[in-house]
Chain A
């Protein structure tokens, strides 16, 4: 079964933060950086790993507003949708 965006985001956060499996299992859509103790430098590290995972560029202004898992999932879905529609329009032009 293919991983959902949420599952991929949770996997990336757990890996960059070196969470043990039990702590990784507690991550969900409502988890916030504040309650996880993720500071600004950790956040930047997570953004870098997300860019690699989803092969996309997250603009600095977007990255600055990330407060938790839900923000990331929504933002990534939006970026992926934008990328997909761009590819479609390029195909149309071709």
Chain B
């Protein structure tokens, strides 16, 4: 079986928007949602991309909140929106052949941090019983599956910053090859806990400024949070039920650098992009837009530029490339999903989101990075890159719906 696969629904909850429409308008407008970080006085991380106006009690009952860490809440909120937007009508047969495939780097870190503080600092001897179900990295996937009664293949990928792209790629292949007739796929992350922020501070990868991908004065990444979920289903089935086809997902490529635990490698990144093109059965010149990994670190953006030039040769000069992390921050295990959403929305609306906060060209990042102002364009195909710490890469390829 080799079916074409459509994206028919998107749900987003991140700093750049509490739902899909808000997210689309703010990333197209180039509005950076990066703000001063408050509430963590002992952490030397000045800025972050946090959710705004998120009120858990508007989405969940107190009983549900007992068992849902924020990362699982975000996953559910995004999944509910994606399902609603897709207009899907569940039948018993469809529920049986539908699954949930999510990415999460950290799982329930907030729950873990709070409960371990009770243990280590407050010397409590009793441990609350919900810590295990709240912290497990598949809690988001399982909660979504239970909410909609989906009993097909479901699991969670944890590959640091590529988690969501690995998840969406697997979901795509499983729908394409018939193991699933519908997948809810994406990622979620809730990294704002004292312990985890101190860990990022220790790594010295976070910007002392804002996030300026591909700009000469870039100083590092900005941590974000949230979730995005996509509805993947066979194109024929989506057309048959009259669904809005937001875009087609046409390929995925994965590779491992086998090089360094934090330093990126152009060879690994370019290999993943080439594999995505091959899987999609398209030529490099058919790509008109790349949603870059574009973290805003010195190493990533220069290496990613080299990798894009390796894959696209002279076509690299005609490509538009942007990093929406400049607006929604780096949401780690959710990043790929939020950026897949941005890529699909770009193809659907014919608007390419810019790279915000850009000031000065860097000769090492000499691509057309759509500085600060969106561009109207209707590329045939687009890529969305994720390159994780640990050198695990996953690239998704999409085609504009016609």
Decide whether A and B are members of one complex.
yes
Binding site for B on A (CB under 8 A): 17-18, 41, 44-45, 47-48, 51-52, 57
Report the bound CA distance from A92 to B319 in whole Å.
86
Report the bound CA distance from A45 to B128 in whole Å.
7
Closest to B130 in A: A45
B23 to A: closest C-beta gap in Å: 32
Neighbouring A residues of B133 by C-beta, 8 Å: 41
B66 CB-CB contact with A under 8 Å: yes
A48-B61 in contact (CB<8A): no
A45-B126 in contact (CB<8A): no
Extra pairs beyond A18-B62, A18-B63, A48-B128 (11, CB < 8 Å): A18-B61, A18-B66, A41-B67, A41-B129, A41-B130, A45-B66, A45-B128, A45-B130, A51-B126, A52-B126, A57-B126
A88 to B: closest C-beta gap in Å: 24
Report the bound CA distance from A18 to B61 in whole Å.
9
Report the bound CA distance from A47 to B62 in whole Å.
19
Neighbouring A residues of B128 by C-beta, 8 Å: 45, 48
Interface of A, helix, strand, loop or mixed by DSSP: helix
- Which B35-93 residues have C-beta < 8 A from chain A? 61-63, 66-67
Report the bound CA distance from A44 to B133 in whole Å.
12
Report the bound CA distance from A41 to B128 in whole Å.
11
B125 to A: closest C-beta gap in Å: 9
Q: Total contacts A to B, CB within 8 angstroms?
A: 21
B59 to A: closest C-beta gap in Å: 15
What string of 1s and 0s marks CB contacts (under 8 Å) between B116-141 and chain A? Answer: 00000000001011100100000000
Report the bound CA distance from A50 to B62 in whole Å.
19
Closest to A52 in B: B126
Neighbouring B residues of A41 by C-beta, 8 Å: 67, 129-130, 133
A68 to B: closest C-beta gap in Å: 19
Report the bound CA distance from A51 to B128 in whole Å.
11
Checking B63, B129, B130 against A17 with a beta-carbon cut-off of 8 angstroms, the contacting residue is B63
11 A-B residue pairs with CB within 8 Å: A17-B63, A18-B62, A41-B129, A41-B130, A41-B133, A44-B129, A45-B66, A45-B128, A47-B129, A48-B129, A52-B126
A45-B129 in contact (CB<8A): yes
A34 to B: closest C-beta gap in Å: 18
Report the bound CA distance from A57 to B127 in whole Å.
12
Report the bound CA distance from A18 to B63 in whole Å.
6
Neighbouring B residues of A57 by C-beta, 8 Å: 126
Closest to A55 in B: B126
A46 to B: closest C-beta gap in Å: 9
Neighbouring B residues of A51 by C-beta, 8 Å: 126
Closest to A15 in B: B62
Neighbouring B residues of A17 by C-beta, 8 Å: 63
Report the bound CA distance from A41 to B66 in whole Å.
11
Report the bound CA distance from A41 to B129 in whole Å.
8
Closest to B133 in A: A41
Closest to B129 in A: A44
Scoring B63, B66, B129 by chain A CB atoms within 10 A of each residue's CB, the highest score goes to B129
Closest to B61 in A: A18
Report the bound CA distance from A44 to B128 in whole Å.
9
Report the bound CA distance from A48 to B129 in whole Å.
7
Report the bound CA distance from A18 to B64 in whole Å.
10
Neighbouring A residues of B66 by C-beta, 8 Å: 18, 45
Report the bound CA distance from A62 to B126 in whole Å.
17
Closest to B124 in A: A52
Neighbouring B residues of A45 by C-beta, 8 Å: 66, 128-130
Report the bound CA distance from A47 to B129 in whole Å.
9
Report the bound CA distance from A33 to B3 in whole Å.
49
Neighbouring A residues of B61 by C-beta, 8 Å: 18
